[in-house]
Amino acid sequence: MIKFCNSCGAAVAYRIPEGDSLERAVCAACGHIQYQNPKIVVGCLPVYGDRILMCKRAIEPRYGLWTLPAGFMENHESAPEGAAREAMEEANARVEIEYLYTVYSIPHISQVYMMFRARLLDPDVSPGVESLEVKLVAEAEIPWDQLAFAMVKRTLEHFLADRRAGVFVPRFGDIRPPQR
Ligand SMILES: [Zn+2]
């Protein structure tokens, strides 16, 4: 929840502005409305031969679990630029972003993941500060029981099925909170 106006610093109140349909943080002093919208996470599935680049996370959440290079998109960059930047930051990996592959909405945390298929240009990879370890894994070596996120599992499953079928199909879907 937002508490203070980022324009004048006064307290905000949540209410529905005229002409709107959702509650927003509205400043009582200056009238400024602070909109909050989903964040975009961009990443890639870098492939070298028949192997996939994976990273073991050195940060929370999901410390010590395996993921594909991905992170929050920055201002003033394109989605593919962000995906390539994350591969460099997390694995010192030079990639060529090729195709948009999976898009997952995660409504309960207001995030959208955009994952690209990418060609790893050089197999000489090493952990960046956010990774404990990076590895080029064959299908049989994927650590299925130690994956960090549902989107990683789903993207890998689609990729392996598409590779077997010989045709890659972009997909989208929703990821909902785990059932308790
Ligand atoms: Zn204000």
Calculate how far, in angstroms, residue 30's C-alpha sits from the geometric centre of ligand 1: 4
Q: Can you tell me which residue has the tokens 């090493």?
A: 126
- Neighbour count for residue 173 (Cβ, 10 Å): 13
pLDDT value, residue 154: 97
Calculate how far, in angstroms, residue 135's C-alpha sits from the geometric centre of ligand 1: 49
pTM of the model: 0.92
pLDDT value, residue 136: 98
pLDDT value, residue 1: 86
Residues, CB within 5 angstroms of ligand 1 (ion) = 5, 7-8, 10, 27, 29-30, 32
Calculate how far, in angstroms, residue 36's C-alpha sits from the geometric centre of ligand 1: 16
pLDDT value, residue 49: 97
Residue numbers in the chain where pLDDT is lower than 50: none
pLDDT value, residue 178: 78
